[in-house]
Amino acid sequence: MTSKHSDIEIEILLLGKWRFNTDSEKITIVFKDDMTYEQTRIQTLLFFKPKELITGNKFTGVWYVNKKILYLNVKNLPKSFLNLRIPLAFKISFADIIATLGSVFITENYEVLRINSSKFLIKDKEQSIIGTKISNRSTGNL
């Protein structure tokens, strides 16, 4: 039950801010027209909270759609515990280095099942995930 839309149509429909809830996370993603994204992940299960403490809950990267598959390549983990700031010196971004190298080998991908201007149904390896578009009232953009 793959989407009837073309890859370009899916990309255009994706632009904006979306909220997804999975069994273990609440996720907000802003898909930008320069093919970058900003993602916030809040762990809802206590078992996964240590992961959030190490990686942080903010992620940025690049995205694209190919053959009705949404690909997310993480590039930065700006709130990660592993991004160290040495006073009066410089910032060492171990988490960003790991994320960038990791995205070369491991890309998040989701099959686009259905999408319209307000709802989005995707599937990863384990579950189907429903997204809802959120309007951004502060800027007037979707």
Average pLDDT over residues 123-138: 82
Angle at CA of residue 110, ends 2 and 63, nearest 5°? 115
Report the CATH number that the domain containing residue 72 is assigned in CATH.
Answer: 2.40.128.280
Q: Is 142 a member of any domain?
A: no
Q: In this predicted model, what pLDDT tens digit does every residue of 97-126 receive, in sequence order?
A: 555 555 555 678 999 999 999 999 999 888
User: Does residue 137 register a pLDDT over 70?
Assistant: no
pLDDT at 7 over 80: yes
> What is the domain count for the chain?
1
Residue 73 maps to a domain: yes
pLDDT score recorded for residue 141? 45
**Which residue has 């909220």 as its token pair?**
19
CB atoms near residue 23 (< 10 Å): 9
**Total-model pTM:** 0.75
Residue 117: give the domain boundaries. Answer: 7-134
How far is residue 7's CA from residue 111's CA, in Å, rounded to a whole number? 11
CA atoms within 13 A on the CB side of 106: 4
Residue 141 lies in a domain: no
